[in-house]
Chain A
Amino acid sequence: AQSVTQPDIHITVSEGASLELRCNYSYGATPYLFWYVQSPGQGLQLLLKYFSGDTLVQGIKGFEAEFKRSQSSFNLRKPSVHWSDAAEYFCAVVPRLNSGGSNYKLTFGKGTLLTVNP
């Protein structure tokens, strides 16, 4: 079955430490891949996306993500976490259709809650 999985429900890191949030997908063809962040009381904000090309994608707020086809993964990373990064992070996919198009419908993982300790 098609799915997007975020194995870590909750991660705690210290401020200044590095961060990696995991995302795995199970689709026949590599879907379009996204990372969103949801801060308390806010809507979802797009951090970055991968469509094709360079497998290392740079996003906003110092985040990057690496697409690894062999592992069906799209992990989000940040070298040094700031207290303001505490939020919930969602990996999302839009499937590619056999026709080469897309249904444009985002499917989200369950999210990873990030806590940042001072």
Chain B
Amino acid sequence: EADIYQTPRYLVIGTGKKITLECSQTMGHDKMYWYQQDPGMELHLIHYSYGVNSTEKGDLSSESTVSRIRTEHFPLTLESARPSHTSQYLCASSPLGGQGPFKAFFGQGTRLTVV
């Protein structure tokens, strides 16, 4: 069973608010990812990290930012939420080395609605 947690599961928030989506894993994985999934659309990688103090932009441009101060924690922040940010955000992690990078574990997702 995967030990990767996202909070909150659901969030409805007003335009202009600052929000942080939390993602934590207890497996000691070096690599962590954030994916964005719009309804009926594919998942797009928006951020990833190879380890502490490492963050990279993904394939889909996003106004969100991430930080990786601790191995187990990879929060995503939106400084000023807009309705266009309404989406599901999935966090994932995987170990580094061997076939480990392909063994990605996913959180349950945060469904964000900006009104």
Q: How many contacts between A and B, using CB within 8 angstroms?
A: 56
Query: A4: which B residues are within 8 A, CB to CB?
Result: 42
Q: How large is the interface on A (under 10, 10 to 19, 20 to 34, 35 or more residues)?
A: 20 to 34
Interface presence of A78 (CB below 8 A): no
Question: Do A43 and B41 have beta carbons less than 8 Å apart?
Answer: no
A residues in contact with B105, CB < 8 Å: 43
CB distance from A4 to the nearest CB of B (A): 8
Those of A17-50 within 8 Å (CB) of chain B: 32, 34, 36, 41-46, 49
- Distance in angstroms from B33 CB to nearest chain A CB is 8
Cβ distance A50 to chain B, nearest Cβ, rounded Å: 10
- Residues of A with C-beta under 8 A to B103: 46
Residues of B in contact (CB 8 Å), total 28
Q: Which of A34, A41, A43 contacts B90 (CB 8 A)?
A: A43
B108 interface contact, C-beta 8 A: yes
Which of the segments A64-72, A79-87, A100-108 contacts the partner chain?
Answer: A100-108
Q: Cβ of B48: which chain A residues have Cβ within 8 Å of it?
A: 105
Contact A43 B2 (CB under 8 A): yes
On chain B, the residues within 8 Å of A45 by CB distance are: 106
Q: Is the CB of B42 within 8 A of A111?
A: yes
B19 — which chain A residues lie within 8 A by C-beta?
A: none
Contact between chains at A44 and B99 (CB < 8 Å):
no
Residue interface bits B50-63, CB-to-A below 8 A is 1, else 0: 00000000110000
**With A and B bound together, what is the CA distance between A49 and B102 in angstroms?**
9
Which residues from A are CB-within-8-Å of B59? 105, 107
Q: Distance (Å) between the CB of A78 and the closest chain B CB?
A: 21
Jot down 27 A-B pairs with beta carbons below 8 A, ordered by A: A32-B102, A41-B9, A41-B108, A42-B108, A43-B90, A43-B105, A43-B106, A43-B107, A44-B92, A44-B106, A46-B103, A49-B102, A51-B99, A90-B42, A104-B94, A105-B33, A105-B45, A105-B48, A106-B33, A106-B43, A106-B92, A107-B45, A107-B59, A108-B35, A108-B42, A108-B44, A110-B42
Q: Given contact pairs A32-B102, A34-B102, A43-B4, enumerate 18 new A-B contacts (beta carbons under 8 Å).
A: A4-B42, A9-B40, A36-B106, A43-B2, A43-B90, A43-B105, A43-B107, A44-B92, A44-B106, A49-B102, A51-B99, A90-B42, A102-B101, A106-B92, A106-B104, A107-B45, A108-B44, A110-B42
